[in-house]
Amino acid sequence: MRASRLVNLLLLLQTRGRLTAAELSEELEVSVRTIYRDVDALSQAGVPIYAERGPGGGVRLVDGYRTRLTGLTPDEAEGLFLSGLPGPAAELGLGTVVSAAQLKVLAALPPELRARASRVTQRFHLDAPGWFRSAEAVSHLEQLAEAVWDARRIEIRYRRADRVQNRVVEPLGLVLKGGIWYLVARSNGEFRTFRASRVEGVTLTEERFERPGDFDLATHWTESTAAYERDLMQVEIEVLVEPGAVEHLGEMVGESVRRTMKRPRRPEADGRYRIRFRHESVGWAMENLLPLGARVEVVSPDELRERLVALAAGVLARYGGGEPTQLSGSPPAASAPGVRA
C-alpha cells in the first residue's frame, strides 16, 4: 500500500510540478504528517525531492528529473486498454493516435503486465449504438473536434425540423451518448446542445475564445440531461396494474419515466396496484402501455383512455370484419435527448 502511494506521490509531482503538503494529503487521502514521512523516504531512496517552507513553498522535484516508473498494477494496465474506444476515436480523427499511444504503453510495460493488457481487447468490446440502430453519419465531426481542441469560434449551418439556421458558437465539448454525437457549445452567452448529425456545414474562424474556468463537460452534461428529462415529463398518468405486470410496466416505459413512478406499498382491494407516473406525451404513453394489454387499466388522463379504447375497437373491427375505427394523432417523432438548441 505504501509503495503504491510513494509512486503516486512521485507521479503527481512529476506531472503537476510543485504541490503543497496539504494538496498532496488531499489527493492521496492521508495526513500531512504522512506526506512529510513519504517525502523523507523518497529522499533517502535517492529521489531528488525536497520541501520548501513558507509562502510559495511546497514539495517538488529537482527540475528536469523524470522517472520511468508507471506504478501500474495489473488491474490498472487492463483498465487502461479497456478505456480505449477505437470507433469513437476514429470518428474524431484520432484513431491512429490512440493506436500509437497504446503501442507505446505496451512497449513500456513489464512483460507480465503487457500480456494482461493485450488480452483485454480480445475479451471486451464496446458497441455504442443500440440494437437495430446504426451509428449516425456525422459529416463534420473532425472539424468540430478541431474547433473544440483549439477553442476556436465556428459558424455552423444547423438543420432544425422546419429550417436551417446559421449560428456562431463557441464549441466546448463533444459527447457520445447511445451512438449519437452531441456538441456542447456556448451561443450568445448561453450553453446549448446541438445534435452533431444536424450540422450541415462548419466554418472555422480565426477567433479564439476563453473557456469558462469553472466549466466541466461531464458535470454539465449530467445536469443538463437531467433537467431536460424533468422538463420533458409533462403528462400525469395514473394506472391500475396487475401484480405480475408491475415490473414489466417499468421495463416498457424506460428509465426516465420509471424514476417518476409512485407506487403504494399495498395493493387495492382487487389486488391491483395504483401507480402514478409522468410521461413525455399521451402518444408515447400509449405505445408503452399497449404491449401490456388488459393487465394495465388507465385511470387518467381521459384522452389516453379514449385513444386506447379507439385503438382496441379498430383492431376488433379489423379482425371481426367490420369497419375499423380511425385513430388520429400518432405519437410525435422522438426528440433528441438533451438538444435544446
- Are residue 29 and residue 78 in the same domain, yes or no? no
Query: Which tens digit of pLDDT belongs to each residue from 86-131?
Result: 666 666 666 565 666 666 666 666 666 667 666 666 666 666 666 7
Q: What is the CATH number of the domain that holds 35?
A: 1.10.10.10
- Are residue 310 and residue 265 in the same domain, yes or no? yes
299 part of a folded domain: yes
Angle at 261 between CA 260 and CA 266, to 5 degrees: 155
Cβ–Cβ < 8 Å for 241, 287 = no
Residue with cell 413525455: 280
260 part of a folded domain: yes
300 part of a folded domain: yes
The mean pLDDT of 311-334, rounded to a whole number, is: 65
- Are residue 309 and residue 241 in the same domain, yes or no? yes
24 part of a folded domain: yes
- Are residue 238 and residue 315 in the same domain, yes or no? yes
- Are residue 244 and residue 201 in the same domain, yes or no? no
| pLDDT confidence bin for 327, thresholds 50/70/90 | very low
Cell of 35: 506526506
Total tally of structural domains belonging to the chain: 4
H or E, element range at 171: strand 164-177
| pLDDT confidence bin for 298, thresholds 50/70/90 | very high
Query: Which tens digit of pLDDT belongs to each residue from 163-187?
Result: 899 999 999 999 888 778 899 999 9
User: Global pTM?
Assistant: 0.56
27 part of a folded domain: yes
- What residue numbers bound the domain in which 116 lies? 74-123
| pLDDT confidence bin for 142, thresholds 50/70/90 | confident
